[in-house]
Structure 1
């Protein structure tokens, strides 16, 4: 699939690191470092603008290494870039650790997954079909 992109940064285009990668890394496009203190959040610009085909979205997700090693995550994970959005792709990063985290220009801060989606139509009914689980949720199936 071909996706139109404008890159206003000095960084390479997002790309897949391996043949089997689902996501492409997004890089910070900033003029000076951003310090994220504990529990702070910031919208970090990427310098890219995309045009997706209708029926697709770009999901912005955390990078597992930043999350595991530094406590840095995407606050609204996964963030969605809709097909009709034409603004700059920004990443809402938050620092869940107790230490400051400095974001440098060009740093890989998140990953983007392009995903096909369907549009749903609601059908209002008076009842739903029965299942073994029923209305059990939020841990009702156990942990082991």
Structure 2
């Protein structure tokens, strides 16, 4: 009896710990300052919702017309601003340092590949006895053949 009670208590505690941990997963969830900032910057739009005599919205009484949208002049003004920003960014000189770094990196890559091909050309040919490469004896003979006396 007490054994199952202990497991139940342990399960309840584990569940409560898991639920309390959920609060720390989303720390900014209750932060409404961003939403309040956006609302304060937005233009006030008159609602078309029909209201009763006390000022409460009538359920099921949908607006007969849509709320007013942006005017053509406001759209043209915003489009002009975006176009001028795009032209300014397109006319700005590119970052020459970035392109120089890319060119230097490509040159280093080309030189390393060339050095690798040159180094692999000087390697002894694979012997016919093994598919893994030259035998140690072949490498030793090549080293001895390339060594010059130090006298």
Tell me the TM-score normalised to structure 1 length.
0.14
Tell me the TM-score normalised to structure 2 length.
0.14
Q: Which has the higher contact order (CA 8 A, sep 6+)?
A: 1
